[in-house]
Amino acid sequence: MLGIDTNVLVRFLVRDHETQFERARRLIRREITAGEDVFVSLLVLLETEWVLRSRYALQKPEIMATISALLDATELRFEDEAAIEETLFTWKDTSAEFGDCLIGAHNRRLGCRATATFDAKAIQLPDFVAV
């Protein structure tokens, strides 16, 4: 299994630098051909959402569709895929940030009874409590 960094995933997704896109595509294809998984960590996914939103000005529906498509790719393996799916489900109907939704879902799956926060938007999420 080979983990990829945010910049590799973003280049593969947005294809704004043709040389780096081709290098990312070849790397992913080589791993798949060798029977290896390509691993995307929660940190990489979190950074990817931020880059797509802040640098490429993608809106929530576009980002959700992109992440959903990634989850459907059988050649990619994700850290805590169930938390990512829960995050997308929660995020679609809230004004809270993707990162807060992901933190809450991941913490819940790790056995936390709640996530404490000062964030007014995150307080609206299930299992978040105000400090």
Residues in the chain: 131
Contact 129, 115 (CB under 8 A): yes
**Reported pTM:** 0.92
The pLDDT profile of the chain, 131 residues, written as one tens digit per residue, is 999 999 999 999 999 999 999 999 999 999 999 999 999 999 999 999 999 999 999 999 999 999 999 999 988 999 999 999 999 999 999 999 999 999 999 999 999 999 999 999 999 998 999 99
Q: Which residue has the tokens 């980002």?
A: 63
> Percent helix, strand and coil across the chain, each rounded to 5?
60, 10, 30
Q: What does the alpha-carbon distance between residue 56 and residue 110 come to, in Å, rounded to a whole number?
A: 32
125 DSSP assignment: S
Q: What does the alpha-carbon distance between residue 83 and residue 71 come to, in Å, rounded to a whole number?
A: 12
Burial of 105: CB neighbours in 10 Å, binned 0-12, 13-18, 19+: buried
**Amino acid, single-letter form, for residue 122:** A
